[in-house]
Structure 1
Amino acid sequence: MTTGTAMHERQPIRAILFDLDGTLNGIDMDQFLPRYFAALGEYLREWIEPQRLAREIWQATESLLQDRDVELTNAEKFRRRFLRDDPALRDLLYPLFDRFYEERFDALRSHAPIHPLAREAVETALDMGMRVVVATNPVFPEAAIRRRLAWAELADLPFQFVTTMENSHACKPHPEYFLEIVERLGVPPEHCLMVGNDRDEDLVAARLGMRTFWVTHLPIGRGISRVEPDGRGSLADLVAWLPGLARPDDGW
């Protein structure tokens, strides 16, 4: 593991933002998403051809990822774009999406390995008095994100906030995503730590003044942001590193 500069280390940390997929769980999205689309497509096959469904979801999601307008929630943006040429079908499918997450989504649990140190990492942060956020990219509805937290055996922990499509107005790596979180917390970026496995989507938080820790058990991203993390390594390294951070009451 490597760590950052002494200047950063003197900054008191009041909040820790944890990415979810590939960080607090063992989900490899390159493998998980095809299985997700296959399950969803099969569930909705009676109403929409699976390839068309996947194409429409991808197009709506791509549009959402690029949209930095914070007037609408991500859920509202997605709904405006999804099947925009066939609103009757869209309105028919939306209640069925909810049923899918209730009835079939848990069948994908076997493709979401539990990380044995995820709970310890979060509990270490909580025991330090940190405000803890699940800062997953909010392109899934709350039902899907809450279930993935349950799969990771983290659902019972007292998170300050969990980003979802319904409560977020931007996506990673846009600064608006991170700024919305810190505004909700009432904590300036320089007193936050972002923990994630994606060099392009998570470490970019450093541009706002956040400290960053790059989790490397499922590392992704090309590092195009050219941001070096303050720390890097496994979740075991993170657990060992966290107690050395300045506490919320140190100099605040």
Structure 2
Amino acid sequence: MRRNRVKTVLFDLDGTLLPMDQELFVKTYMKELALKGAAVGYDPQELVQIVLAGVEVMVKNDGTMTNEERFWELFMARFGGEMEKHIEVFEKFYQNEFARVANVVNPTRLANQTVQVLRDKGYELVLATNPVFPKVATLERMRWAGLNPKDFSLITTYENCHYTKPNVDYYREILAKIGAKPQECLMVGNDVQEDFSVAKLGVQVFLVTDDLINTAGDDYSQLPQGDRQGLLDYARSLPSVLS
């Protein structure tokens, strides 16, 4: 498959454009959420448990609801009360305390440099980050990474998606939203299982080996790959798609 057929590049965020140790990120995120929850009257341990359970129901989503609807269906069944008040707590958390989690990520200029190289060459860009976060939290993580949301034609969040990684229907939904053919797309990620199930559709892939995740121990030796500097070099080698 010729790489010069690519017109659209899909990027993972966490561990790809935003360097991080995922386990440390989740641990710190849950710690801050528990502190916020305790401060406003939730049982902190129970809040963390239901949020993690909410991720699981989103991962199992069958497409009949958005991920947002799945999450809040579970949350409200446990906590009850006024949904708007619960949502406000989360929004304020992501706008304020969540910023402390930035202390455990390691932003690199290579991320935005890669994005700008591809933008200048005319590629359509999609931020294909696993949509288990609301938009407010995703935009915050993009800010940590030094990325401009305006550079992306689509940013996947729990509000606008009905599936999650590694479900191939998550990628089908993206392609349908942007009107792209699989063979004209490239997926860039650091998780062999979650990011590259898209290859089943005929989408090309590039594995970022920094912060590599390979939970199933799959052989990835034949995949196009490199560290973040290698990704930037690869982007520079791609042809312009400007007409």
- TM-score (norm: length of structure 2): 0.92
Contact 2:109 2:146 in 1 (8 A): no
**1:71-86 aligned within 5 A:** 71-86=64-79
Unpaired stretches in structure 2, ≥5 consecutive residues: none
Letter in 1 for 2:214: G
Aligned to 1:66: 60
Q: Deviations over 1:226-250 (max 9, x none)?
A: 6666410112112222344455469
**2:199 equivalent to 1:191:** no
Aligned to 1:107: 100
Q: Could you say if the C-alpha distance between residues 225 and 191 of structure 1 is closer, same or farther in structure 2, counting changes exceeding 3 Å?
A: farther
Letter in 2 for 1:56: I
Letter in 1 for 2:210: H
Unpaired stretches in structure 1, ≥5 consecutive residues: 1-7
**2:239 equivalent to 1:238:** no
Q: Deviations over 1:128-148 (max 9, x none)?
A: 211001100000110010011
**2:111 equivalent to 1:118:** yes
Q: Could you say if the C-alpha distance between residues 156 and 187 of structure 1 is closer, same or farther in structure 2, counting changes exceeding 3 Å?
A: closer
Q: Could you say if the C-alpha distance between residues 188 and 65 of structure 1 is closer, same or farther in structure 2, counting changes exceeding 3 Å?
A: same
Contact 2:139 2:149 in 1 (8 A): no
Q: Could you say if the C-alpha distance between residues 91 and 224 of structure 1 is closer, same or farther in structure 2, counting changes exceeding 3 Å?
A: farther
Deviation, 1:40, is 1.1
Deviation, 1:209, is 0.3
Cα distance between partner residues in 2 of 1:221 and 1:80: 31
Aligned to 2:49: 55
Cα distance between partner residues in 2 of 1:224 and 1:73: 31
Letter in 1 for 2:169: E
The one of 41, 62, 83 equivalent to 2:34 is 41
Q: Could you say if the C-alpha distance between residues 11 and 37 of structure 1 is closer, same or farther in structure 2, counting changes exceeding 3 Å?
A: same
Contact 1:73 1:168 in 2 (8 A): yes
Cα distance between partner residues in 2 of 1:229 and 1:223: 16
Q: Deviations over 1:13-65 (max 9, x none)?
A: 01000000000011222001111111111111042111111111111211110
Q: Deviations over 1:97-141 (max 9, x none)?
A: 111112211122212211231011111111121100110000011
Contact 1:170 1:176 in 2 (8 A): yes
- TM-score (norm: length of structure 1): 0.89
Query: Greater share of helix residues, 1 or 2?
Result: 2
RMSD value over aligned CA atoms? 2.0
Q: Deviations over 1:137-189 (max 9, x none)?
A: 00011001001101111125521111001111110111111011111111101
Q: In terms of mean alpha carbon deviation, does 41-50 or 142-151 score higher?
A: 41-50
Contact 2:206 2:225 in 1 (8 A): yes
